Amino acid sequence: MKKIIKWSVISYILFGLFIAWYLFYGANTDIPTNLKGSAADPETFMNDQQLLLSEEYSQIKNLLYFLSIPFEWLIYIVVLVVGLSAKFREWSKATSKFSILQTAIYLFWLSLIVEVLSFPFQWVSYSVSKKYNITVQTTSSWMKDNMIDFWVNYAMMIIIIAVVFWLIRKSTKRWWFYAWLLSVPFSFFLMFVQPVLIDPLYNDFYPLTNKELETKILALADKADIPADHVYEVNMSAKTNSLNAYVTGVGSNSRIVLWDTTLNRLSENEILFIMAHEMGHYVMKHIYIGIAGYLVLTLIGLYIINKLMQVMVKKWGKVFKVSSIQDIAVLPLFLLLISMLSFASDPISNAVSRHQEKDADLYALEMTNDKEAAVSSFQELSRAGLSQVNPPYLVKLFRYGHPTMLERLTYTNEYEQE
């Protein structure tokens, strides 16, 4: 037990030191010489203070990201090894004789301890964003969103974990395949209800007040054969200075959404370019390709998790105080493996996403034929979010689902419509 904890902590510290060195000293974020003075050079659209702040802010946020994920792994390891998971199991069994209630009670204690121990990272991240004027959300509002997050995730996890462990107990060998089969309709269901049930818990959505702009956006949607009757506006200015727009949902619940910060800071042509980009995702069916890719990775991941759990429980079951994978106390190991495999697969999923985002950019350029609006919108996105134009390579691999601003500005500037 002591060895596992000791080496886990040592590994975490060494990883943290490496990441800190890499982000602050080892990574090269300079603009290539041949792009100096071009539209992709941040010195042409950021002042000295913005350049300094974007570098500092990005470094700190990236460090927090790379430290927070393995810290969650460390929590799961400690919860298993010191016997807390077994204690939660005993408390749940002593409280109720019904399996679903036992799962809910166990999951509450596990979720609570993970939330409490992870809270310092969340607080520092919020404080940094507020210091650099990216976040303008009040502390009470931020705490409210955190509480909503906790309870929404907890409610969904009760259903998911109850079903998964019921399948494990019914079919120890093939549970992973049956769980994957059930994840297919569940994923589509979540995408269908998110715009109308989940998103409104955090923000207020209402029809776009600028009807002239809405008419132009809907004309673009009609040109792209997108069945949309309304464009929605969301009041994000109470929380952030960042910009965003998106198309969400599936089927009859699909909707076009604009952050009010985007409406306030971008020109009409820039907004139309951004919306054409989002419509490109719809037209090229990126959302369905993304779901298909997610389901393939989920199938492979569940198969690997099943194999690893069997081996690890057999080898370290006594240390974990877990008798078999049917024991709910093995859940921290299950979540640990999910998180680790998800992190390991991020470079693949991000690479696919970056390819799709580039296609959507090119689609928007073709649709609007407005290269100047594209360039200026990307530059404003960089300024508003204080994002690095040329981030470190590891950051791009693990964090960037979009091409870097250097890449987007470069291929946009070089774009020529056939």
Check the annotation: does 357 bind a ligand: yes
pLDDT, tens digit (0-9, with 9 covering 90-100), for 107-143: 999 999 999 999 999 999 999 999 999 999 999 999 9
256 vs 124, residue with greater confidence: 124
Q: Is 286 labeled as ligand-binding?
A: no
pLDDT at 122: 95
Instruction: Decide: helix, strand or coil at residue 124.
Output: helix
Mean pLDDT, residues 91-110: 92
**Catalytic annotation, pick one of 214, 278, 327, 407:** 278
The confidence score (pLDDT) of residue 66 equals 96
- pLDDT per position as a tens digit, 38-58: 888 999 999 999 999 999 999
| Mean of pLDDT values over 206-219 | 87
Rounded to 5 degrees, what are φ and ψ at 370? -135, 80
Prediction pTM value: 0.89
67-72: which pairs have CB atoms within 8 A and are 24 or more residues apart?
67/16, 67/19, 67/121, 68/118, 68/121, 68/125, 69/339, 69/343, 70/12, 70/15, 71/12, 71/118, 71/121, 72/114, 72/118, 72/339
Choose the catalytic residue: 214, 233, 361, 407.
361
Burial class (CB in 10 A: 0-12, 13-18, 19+), 176: buried
> Is 361 part of the annotated catalytic residue set?
yes
281 in a known ligand binding site: yes
Confidence of residue 327 (pLDDT cuts 50, 70, 90): very high
Which has more pLDDT, 208 or 355?
Answer: 355
- For residue 230, is pLDDT > 80? no
- Cα distance between residue 344 and residue 55, in whole Å: 26
**Kind of pairing between the strands at 205-207 and 255-259:** unpaired
Residue 209 pLDDT class (50, 70, 90 cuts) = confident
Is residue 260 flagged as an active site residue?
Answer: no
